[in-house]
Amino acid sequence: MSIEVMTLVWKHYPDGGSELLLALALADHADDDGSSIYPSVASMAKKVRQSERNIQYLLGKMVKKGWLEKVQEGGIIEGRKLATMYRMPIERIPPGTVGWVQTLHPSEGCNPAQARVQPSVKKHTPVCTPTVIEPSKEPSKPASAFALPDWIQPDTWKAYEEIRKKIRKPMTERARDLIIKKLLEMKQAGQDANAVLEQSVMSSWPGIFPIKADTSPAGKQQPWWTDDQATLAKAKELGVSTNGISWQQLRSKIREKIDSGQTRH
């Protein structure tokens, strides 16, 4: 247990909540130089009342911010299960680093050139800018987890993202959320979400639109990628083998053949 390291965490750690609680728990295991931190993930999870998965996530954040260094990888060594060893690089925390406490109470610790202010001296209003130690320049925010709905085929979604990159309209997080929402509305209206995406892929469209029947003089038929029989007919027309592959794989092969211009005469 190191009171010195815990004090540094209290004063300078840039974030609060469960991340700060874990940092304090790790400091409780450290030597005064910030070394010899090797509690197991399970023990940390129990100590700070978090899941083991969340502890692993928070440890990764602390490493990225530079508040934690991995000294030795854990694992089974000579028949023994060893925990990963960490250290807190306290020597890299500058005296003027502003953390969570100073941000909430800017009257303390914001002037590194004047360590103590006598009561008789007029205090100036400090200007505090939250910072973190190297290597990270600012507190990182956890990326929002994205899970593709099970009614969208991964290969189709991947092809759609690739076509957007190709036409220089790469997918942003906001655009992705709006497209998923719109696909859900189309699905509830009776549209095939995967066929809608296929339509945008085939037409190199960055957006998505409801499937419409072909109004050409040749007849009112659905596009080949929206109907299984039409897909088989297209495969036969282009000479694409259908043996041992899924519908999605077949459509991908047809798209590749069309894109390459290799059609059978």
For residue range 195-220, list pLDDT tens digits in order: 899 888 888 888 999 986 554 444 45
Residue 255's identity, in one-letter code, is R
Q: How confident is the model at residue 103 (pLDDT cuts 50, 70, 90)?
A: low
Q: Identify whether 170 is part of a domain.
A: yes
In a domain, 146, yes or no: no
Check pLDDT > 90 for residue 179: yes
Token pair, residue 186, equals 């189309």
pLDDT of 71 reads 82
Last residue of a domain, one of 89, 104, 119: 104
Matching residue, tokens 């009342």: 49
Task: Decide which of 86, 104, 122 is a domain's last residue.
Answer: 104
Kindly write down the DSSP assignment for every residue of 42-109, as one continuous string: HHHHHHHT--HHHHHHHHHHHHHHTS-EEEE--EEETTEEEPPEEE--GGGS-TT---HHHHH-TTSS
Q: Residue 133's pLDDT is what?
A: 54
- Judgement on whether residues 99 and 158 belong to the same structural domain of the protein: no
Domain count, the chain: 2
Residue 181 is predicted with a pLDDT of 93
Are 251 and 179 found together in one domain? yes
- Shared domain for 171 and 255, answered yes or no, is yes
Domain assignment present for 209: yes
- CATH of residue 7: 1.10.10.10
pLDDT in tens, 131-168: 555 554 445 545 456 788 999 999 899 999 998 999 88
Strand pairing class (75-77; 80-82): antiparallel
Examine residue 144 and state whether it is found in any structural domain, yes or no. no
Report yes or no on 142 lying in a domain.
Answer: no
Q: Are residues 171 and 98 in the same domain?
A: no
Q: Are residues 77 and 166 in the same domain?
A: no
The C-alpha atoms of residue 242 and residue 235 are separated, in whole angstroms, by 7
- Comparing 163 with 67, the larger pLDDT belongs to 163
Q: What would the 3-class secondary structure string for 169-202 be?
A: CCCCHHHHHHHHHHHHHHHHCCCCHHHHHHHHHH
Q: Are residues 100 and 160 in the same domain?
A: no
Three-state secondary structure call for residue 40: coil
Instruction: Tell me, yes or no, whether 160 and 237 share the same domain.
Output: yes
Residues 87 and 163 in one domain: no
Is 121 part of any domain?
no
- Kindly tell me if the per-residue pLDDT of 128 is higher than 70: no
Question: Which of these ranges, 108-112, 152-156, 227-231, has the smallest mean pLDDT?
Answer: 108-112
Residue 131 placed within a domain: no
| 164 in a structural domain | yes
Tell whether 254 and 158 lie within a shared domain. Answer: yes
159 and 95, same structural domain?
Answer: no
Residue 115: pLDDT over 50: no
Mean pLDDT within 219-224: 61
Full domain range(s) for residue 185: 154-260
On whether both 165 and 247 belong to a single domain, the answer is yes
Both tokens assigned to 145: 């987890």
Pair (163, 248) in one structural domain: yes
- Packing angle, helices 41-48 and 17-27, rounded to 10: 120
The pTM for the full model equals 0.35
